[in-house]
């Protein structure tokens, strides 16, 4: 529970604040932060007490954050690998506190749909259903492109003093960049991109176009895109330190396949792409027909969590098409199989 202004006044007086002239400034800072719904933080010791970790640990992270992560690689669907930096447990605790107590209380731009409360990948796709033309762009190395200076400026912009902003920026960055794998990175990326989202949104609104961003996936739609829109958006992205993955830029017109963040919108309604639907149905029918172990043995890449992963794919299908009868039936059949496995009774 946060202290009242009077409680803070007593706290400072009992703490023996030497500079009495600074007291009104401290109280104004507290009042300003609490008006934003954010906790006032004065220095490293205070932050350590709020989080519940030792000050020496925070000091060590701020000196060399890279020692407090474990890196591993995951394969991308499009090829290549993505480096995930998983924070050690205590650093994870610090980042979760910053995320929950600070970052989640700050509004993002209306155009940002990824990692934004109350907005989903389906909501993002629906924004572009009525457009005749669709432009899709992918930002290259999104999280690592966000420098620690931009993160520190974000905390400064929230009202935190320079010393506290620098400490929290270092707690949230690895090797001076935003790491993919930290729980703070998604929310920070949206806050860092607020001005960029505004510039692109202003550009597109002036042309009666719709702009949304889902993390590194940018979509613009409308009656006519115009020949210079792509170049102007690339220029804005570059001015904020981002580069476009040229190989993933795509423009679709009426009658052509339109995919936004993995969702087909060409029919005027959000649907799962037919290729993914066929893949899910084939995997599910084979699994339910042959049984778990024969299915795994037939697979080129055996996956002991195949049931759970398939249930996740069906759940996403239902998120996109809640009343699709095939998806509803598959969910029921796969849940029954999962229940049998939990009871230890399933067909080998």
Q: Can you tell me whether residue 303 is helix, strand or coil?
A: coil
Q: Alpha-carbon torsion 112, 138, 76, 275, what sign?
A: positive
Confidence at residue 1, expressed as pLDDT on a 0 to 100 scale: 43
pLDDT of residue 16: 57
Q: Find out whether 192 and 154 touch, Cβ atoms under 8 Å.
A: yes
Output the pLDDT for position 82.
81
Residues 6+ apart with CB under 8 A from 27: 5, 8, 9
Per-residue confidence (pLDDT) for residue 45, from 0 to 100: 93
Q: For the chain, list residues with pLDDT below 70.
A: 1-21, 77-79, 300, 302, 344-348
pLDDT for 81: 79
E-assigned strand segments in 210-282: 210-214, 217-222, 243-244, 250-252, 259-260, 263-264
Q: Taking a C-beta distance cutoff of 8 angstroms, is the pair 96, 186 a contact?
A: no
Cβ contact 172:98 at 8 Å: yes
Tokens 């996403």 belong to residue: 316
Give per-residue pLDDT as tens, 41-94: 999 999 999 999 999 999 999 999 999 999 998 877 666 778 899 999 999 999
Evaluated on CA atoms 301, 302, 305, 310, the torsion sign reads positive
Q: Are 234 and 240 in contact (CB under 8 A)?
A: no
Stated pTM of the model: 0.88
Picking from 182, 155, 187, 150, the residue whose alpha carbon sits closest to that of residue 41 is 155
pLDDT for residue 292: 81
């Amino acid at each position: 529970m946060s202290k009242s202004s009077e409680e803070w006044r007593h706290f400072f007086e009992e703490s023996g604040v030497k500079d009495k002239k600074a007291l009104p400034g401290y109280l104004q800072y507290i009042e300003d932060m609490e008006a934003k719904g954010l906790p006032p933080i004065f220095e490293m010791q205070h932050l350590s007490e709020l989080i519940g970790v030792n000050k020496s640990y925070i000091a060590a992270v701020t000196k060399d954050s890279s020692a407090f992560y474990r890196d591993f690689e995951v394969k991308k669907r499009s090829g290549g690998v993505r480096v995930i930096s998983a924070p050690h447990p205590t650093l994870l605790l610090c980042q979760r506190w910053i995320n929950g107590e600070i970052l989640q209380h700050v509004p993002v731009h209306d155009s940002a749909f990824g990692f934004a409360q109350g907005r989903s990948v389906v909501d993002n796709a629906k924004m572009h259903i009525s457009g005749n033309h669709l432009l899709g762009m992918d930002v290259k190395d999104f999280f690592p492109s966000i420098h620690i200076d931009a993160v520190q400026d974000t905390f400064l912009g929230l009202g935190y003093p320079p010393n506290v902003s620098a400490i929290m920026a270092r707690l949230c960055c690895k090797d001076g960049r935003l790491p993919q794998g930290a729980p703070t990175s998604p929310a920070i990326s949206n806050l860092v991109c607020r001005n960029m989202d505004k510039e692109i949104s202003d550009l597109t609104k002036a042309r009666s176009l719709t702009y949304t961003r889902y993390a590194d996936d940018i979509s613009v739609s409308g009656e006519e895109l115009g020949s210079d829109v792509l170049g102007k958006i690339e220029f804005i992205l570059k001015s904020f330190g981002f580069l476009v993955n040229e190989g993933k830029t795509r423009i679709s017109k009426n009658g052509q396949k339109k995919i936004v963040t993995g969702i087909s919108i060409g029919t005027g309604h959000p649907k799962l792409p037919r290729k993914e639907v066929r893949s899910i149905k084939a995997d599910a029918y084979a699994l339910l027909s042959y049984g778990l172990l024969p299915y795994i043995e037939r697979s080129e890449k055996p996956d002991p969590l195949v049931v759970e992963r398939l249930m996740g794919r069906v759940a996403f299908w239902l998120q996109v098409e809640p009343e699709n009868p095939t998806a509803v039936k598959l969910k029921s059949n796969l849940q029954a199989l999962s229940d049998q496995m939990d009871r230890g009774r399933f067909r080998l």
